Amino acid sequence: MDPADFYSGIVVDAYAGLKASRFDAEPYIEFVRTHGEPALEVGCGDGEPLLDLCAAGLDADGVDSSLDMVLRCRENAVARGVAPRVVHQRVEDLAIGRRYASIYLAGPTFTLLPDDETAARALRAIRTHLTDDGAALVPLWVPGPTPTDDLGVTRASVDRAGVELRYTPLTETYDRERRTRTTSCRYERVAGGETEVADREWVIHWHAPGAFRSMCDVAGLEVVHMVDDDTGGPPTDASVGFTVLVRRAAPTSGG
């Protein structure tokens, strides 16, 4: 299965049911209030935090590669009484026909892009969709290997309808050279005595701060700042999470 289709089928239910915490929408609301509207949330999933931004009165659209997530997001939007435009596209192929003063990813969704080539295409597409003075916010994550003790251990939750959702990481390949962690995992949905199973490969492809800056340069994006999520200072090669703010780079005199 293509990594862009990971969040489909029962994984959509499992993701909603097993999410560790709700997104705090406030940092994204503040980002959009600072940099302007309209806004685009890339990888909006089932609408967190996109729908909170809409409920706060902001003009925000969403885009996601999973049709199941897009449909769920539209349903959730109706239930919340908001009406964002939610587009089914991959960020690396983005062609929305609208430019945005603010583009953001809520959490490290960018690391779901499985290789440098896809990541570079995504950055170019983000650049194309930014207004001339717009800004994009890209949170990044450098994962360690999943602790061996966690492999084979199931996390489960039961939803309001009594449906049990389970997630079990089974095996993992951690490739430092390719900066890729691939976890084979099993999702299960147990309802009415029947168990539905989906086996997936969860691929995380990470970027070191310096390499990400170079990738932005090549994509025509200027890094305004990079902040380590833990220290609040500049990220280093030891950073586990850092957030990057970019803008369109000024055209060079040679064109």
Residues that bind ligand SAM (CB under 6 A): 4, 7, 43-48, 64-66, 69, 90-92, 106-107, 109, 112-113
Cross-sheet strand order for the sheet of 155-158 = 155-158, 164-175, 180-191, 194-205
> Least Å distance between CB 254 and ligand SAM?
32
Burial of 128 (0-12, 13-18, 19+ CB in 10 A): middle
Residues 99 and 134: their CA atoms lie apart, in Å, by 9
Q: How far is the CB of 31 from ligand SAM (least distance, A)?
A: 14
Long-range contacts of 76-80 (CB under 8 A, 24+ apart): 76/46, 76/47, 76/51, 77/47, 77/51, 80/47, 80/51, 80/54, 80/55
**Which of 65, 182 has the CB closer to ligand SAM?**
65
| CA dist list (Å): 105 to 27, 39, 56, 100, 186 | 11, 11, 18, 13, 26
Both tokens of 227, joined, read: 């902040």
The least distance separating ligand SAM from the CB of residue 6, rounded to whole angstroms, comes to 6
The minimum distance between CB 89 and ligand SAM, in angstroms, equals 7
Q: Which is nearer to ligand SAM, 67 or 158 (CB)?
A: 67
Q: For residue 96, give the amino acid letter.
A: I
- Cβ proximity to ligand SAM, 159 vs 222, nearer residue: 159
Q: Which is nearer to ligand SAM, 9 or 107 (CB)?
A: 107
Nearest to 103 by CA among 139, 73, 76: 139
Name the residue whose CB lies closest to ligand SAM: 45
Q: Which is nearer to ligand SAM, 78 or 238 (CB)?
A: 78
Q: Name the residue nearer to ligand SAM (CB basis): 65 or 102.
A: 65
Minimum distance from CB of 250 to ligand SAM (Å)?
28
Give the nearest distance from C-beta 45 to ligand SAM in angstroms: 2
Residue 209 is encoded by which pair of tokens? Answer: 């701060």
